[in-house]
Amino acid sequence: MMALRSVLLGVGGHLPERVLTNAELAERVDTSDEWIVARTGIRERRIAADGEKTSDLAIKAARAALEHAGRDAHDVDLIIVATATPDLTFPATAARVQAALGVVKGAAFDLQAVCSGFIFALATADNFLAREQAKLALVIGAETFSRIVDWEDRGTCVLFGDGAGAVVLEAQTCDTQRGVISTFLRTDGRMHDLLYVDGGPSETQTTGKLRMIGNAVFRQAVEHISGAMLEACARAGVSIDTVDWFVPHQANQRILDGVARRLGIPVEKVISTVAVHGNTSAASVPLALDAGVSDGRIKKGDLVLMEALGGGLTWGAALVRM
Interface contacts to ligand COA, rule CB under 6 A:
31, 35-36, 39-40, 115, 154-155, 158, 212, 214-215, 217-218, 221, 251-252, 255, 279, 309-310
**Rounded distance between C-alpha atoms, residue 239 and residue 104, angstroms:** 42
Closer of 42 and 169 to ligand COA (Cβ)? 42
Which residue in the list 68, 224, 249, 277 is annotated as catalytic?
249
Closer of 75 and 223 to ligand COA (Cβ)? 223
Count CB-CB contacts under 10 A for residue 218: 17
* Residue 233 annotated to the active site: no
DSSP conformational letter for 155: H
Closer of 36 and 78 to ligand COA (Cβ)? 36
Strand partners, 314: 187, 310
Query: Which residues, other chains included, contact 107 with Cβ-Cβ below 8 Å and sequence gap of 6+?
Result: 77, 78, 79, 134
Contact between residue 111 and residue 312 where contact means Cβ atoms under 8 Å apart: no
Closer of 81 and 309 to ligand COA (Cβ)? 309
Least separation in angstroms between residue 71's CB and ligand COA is: 31
Q: Are strands 162-175 and 195-197 parallel, antiparallel or unpaired?
A: unpaired
Contact between residue 107 and residue 147 where contact means Cβ atoms under 8 Å apart: no
* Residue 157 annotated to the active site: no
* Residue 127 annotated to the active site: no
Sign (positive or negative) of CA dihedral 282, 40, 212, 183:
positive
Task: Give the active site residues.
Answer: 115, 249, 279
